[in-house]
Structure 1
Amino acid sequence: MVCLFIAALMGSVACSKKNPPPAAYDTNAGQEMEEADLGAGEFRSPAEIDPALAAIFQNILFGFDQYSLTPQARAILDGIGAWMKNNPAKLVLIEGHTDERGTYEYNLALGDRRANSAKTYLTQLGIDAARIYTISYGEERPVAMGSNEAAWAKNRRGEFKIK
């Protein structure tokens, strides 16, 4: 009887359903968004909207395992904040990205912290938080391929989209 119970228990544990990891880590407190909720084509790269915007909306870069803003990142965010003040109907999506090192879950969380550090800075400049969305892609969308410091440095970034 005990053997039958143990066999049944082991069978139910072995057949338990495993949930796949999420496609993207949602980072919006109070602004629940899934990647599908972003709307296909709604948020676009600044250069697609106007090539001149590419100079304002540059990627901000982060050090290894860091989410604090560098002086260069703050300068870029100052320009983005000024643009947002002059374009009050526009919304911005900040994407947090990491390099390939670290676990999937760790990189999603780090990308979240990177995107939110940029969002916090923009809100401190006076931009309404409701106009700024964040999402983390972790290591899933590299801009540079390779397993070396040059590629990793380019992939540790915050990237911007406009709606």
Structure 2
Amino acid sequence: MNLTTKTLLVLAALALAACNNPRGGGGFGADGDGFGNGNGFNDGGITSGSLGDPNDPNSIAHFQQRIGDRVFFTTDSSSLTEEGRSTLSAQARWLSANPQFDIVIEGHADERGTREYNVSLGERRASATMQYLISQGVSSNRMRTVSYGKERPVEACPEQRCWDLNRRAVTTIAGGGRTS
């Protein structure tokens, strides 16, 4: 093997090793525990087939479709609306009835503003959501937060309707291995 080939192999190995960071890091995207790397399914042992029946009040499908898994915010704000508090109160009741589940709270922002600002705003939104759930009796040990800022929009367009949908916090079910 000549020197050029060896150098390329070493660089390729280093590049691959750099891609494998199971503890997250950098504070963006994942929280270091592996939470927040996806949509909550298949990440924590939950598959789309295990969502259950939306008519079953203890199912994940019921949580998502009947209770609501997201709350919305006004521009540049992390203050919960009355509607958001109502949704989170219902989430807290569901979580109290289903202590086997942990959650990840994802903070999101619309496309306006810098990446850094929107990551910070997403963190504040996720934190406000978590603090409200704690005030409703949900243990902080069952929750993790992550901010995606403007990186994961629901709708991508430069219009108010899209911005309204993207200013949100989403509660995802992250795992179901708890027994107490």
Shorter-chain TM-score category?
0.7 to 0.9
Q: 2:96 — aligned with what?
A: 85
Please give the root-mean-square deviation of Cα atoms over the aligned residues, in Å: 2.8
Q: Which runs of 5+ in 1 are unaligned?
A: 1-21
Whether the 8 Å CA contact 1:59–1:157 is kept in 2: the answer is yes
Alpha-carbon separation, structure 1, partners of 2:110 and 2:50: 25
Greater RCO, CA 8 A, separation 6+: 1
How far is the alpha carbon of 1:126 from its aligned partner?
1.0
Q: 1:33 — aligned with what?
A: 33
Cα shift readout 1:87-113 (whole Å, capped 9, x = no counterpart): 111101110000001111110010000
Using the size of structure 1 for normalisation, the TM-score is 0.75
Alpha-carbon separation, structure 1, partners of 2:166 and 2:90: 22
Based on CA coordinates, which of the two structures has the bigger radius of gyration?
A: 1
How far is the alpha carbon of 1:58 from its aligned partner?
3.1
Alpha-carbon separation, structure 2, partners of 1:39 and 1:148: 30
Alpha-carbon separation, structure 2, partners of 1:144 and 1:136: 17
**Is the deviation greater in 40-49 or in 100-109?**
40-49
> Which of the numbers 33, 47, 52 marks the counterpart of 2:62?
52
Structure 1 segments (4+ residues) deviating >2 Å: 22-27, 32-41, 43-48, 50-53
Structure-to-structure mapping, 1:40-119, within 5 angstroms: 41-42=43-44, 49-50=51-52, 51-53=61-63, 54-119=65-130
Q: 2:5 — aligned with what?
A: none
Percent identity reads 33
Using the size of structure 2 for normalisation, the TM-score is 0.68
Q: Which runs of 5+ in 2 are unaligned?
A: 1-25, 53-60, 176-180
